[in-house]
Amino acid sequence: MKLKLFSLLPLLFFINTSAQGYLFGKVTSEENMEMQDVTVINIRTDERVLTNQDGHFMLSGRQGDELRFVKAGYERIVKKVVDISTPLHISLIRIPTQIAEVEIKKGITGDLKIDSKNLNKPKKVEKLLDDLGIYMAQKSDPRVLAARPGEFVQPVTKGTFSFGKIKNKWDDVDFMNYLITALGERYFTDLKIEKSQIQHFIYYVFAGGFERKNILKYGYCSDTDLMRFQRAVLTRISSYRAPQTQK
């Protein structure tokens, strides 16, 4: 009887360690501040969730699973689950950014020869500036500014100002390149997107209705915009993969 019990112990241990459950945890910054919208990935199952506004997350898993934590601007962390009954506490470390070099201009030394070289413009530069000033002061021939035959001319009325269409500082290509730089190619490869398909996938997310009018207009993507894009990625990734997996 004792022999049978001893033979069952390894089986019970295997069932306990391989049982599927739910993994809980919290993600904070180095300053112990709760971090929202951190992507948490179970590497074994490829299941992924985002942390809520309090930094908490929950996803299915079991003992021995490895979880990857990803957020733009922070170092990625991989944590192995030792005990599913114990909540995980993850602290992300911000990636240091290089500060642009500041050019320090030479000041006045008191030496006339040195100060004249450092502070006075070269003669060629001065002549060019003078020539440009004379050219800009000249009046243009009215025939140069006249409308061409058949060309539409904006009517001018008193008391009103008319402006042409403001050109965007960015286009979709500029924004796409920024996303790849900010998130890194590994962010997309972790989503099972091949490097050659990253640009195609980003355009696919754009085509899904991702709002980027102000981003293109001002040429600026905020952290909030970056989080919106990551949420849009998680929404569109399943439909992007579907045609590839169907036979």
Q: Is residue 41 part of a domain?
A: yes
**How many structural domains comprise the chain?**
2
**H, E, C per residue of 81-109:** CCCCCCCEEEECCECCCCCCCCCCCCCCC
Of the listed ranges 164-168, 205-209, 222-226, the one predicted with least confidence = 164-168
Q: Is residue 144 part of a domain?
A: no
Given this model, what pLDDT does residue 241 score?
Answer: 78
Task: Evaluate if residue 106 carries a pLDDT over 70.
Answer: no
Domain final residue, candidates 75, 91, 107: 91
Q: What is the mean pLDDT of residues 16-25?
A: 74
Q: Is residue 157 part of a domain?
A: no
DSSP state letters, the chain: -HHHHHHHHHHHHHHHHH--EEEEEEEE-TT--B--S-EEEETTT--EEE--TTSEEEEEE-TT-EEEEE-TTB--EEEE-S-TTS-EEEE--BPP-PPPPPPPPP---S-HHHHHHHHSPPHHHHHHHHHHHHHHHSPPPHHHHSPPTT-------TT-----PPPPS--HHHHHHHHHHHH-HHHHHTTT--GGGHHHHHHHHHHTT---HHHHHHT---HHHHHHHHHHHHHHHHHHHHHHH--
Q: Is residue 158 part of a domain?
A: no
Domain final residue, candidates 91, 115, 134: 91
Given this model, what pLDDT does residue 135 score?
Answer: 66
d(CA 218, CA 178): 14
Given this model, what pLDDT does residue 102 score?
Answer: 58
Given this model, what pLDDT does residue 15 score?
Answer: 46
Average pLDDT value for the chain: 79
Q: Is residue 126 part of a domain?
A: no
Residue 14 or 42, more confident = 42
User: Could you report the per-residue pLDDT of 110-155, keeping only the tens digit for each?
Assistant: 665 566 566 566 676 677 777 777 766 665 555 545 555 555 555 5
Q: Is residue 52 part of a domain?
A: yes
Q: What is the mean pLDDT of residues 74-94?
A: 92
Q: What is the CATH number of the domain that holds 58?
A: 2.60.40.1120
Q: Is residue 242 part of a domain?
A: no
Q: Is residue 122 part of a domain?
A: no
Banded pLDDT at 160 (limits 50, 70, 90): very low
Domain of residue 60, residue span:
18-91
The fraction of the chain above a pLDDT of 90, given in percent, is 55
d(CA 171, CA 207): 14
Banded pLDDT at 43 (limits 50, 70, 90): very high
Domain final residue, candidates 69, 91, 113: 91
DSSP state letters, 147-161: PPTT-------TT--
> 65: which 2 tokens?
């699973």
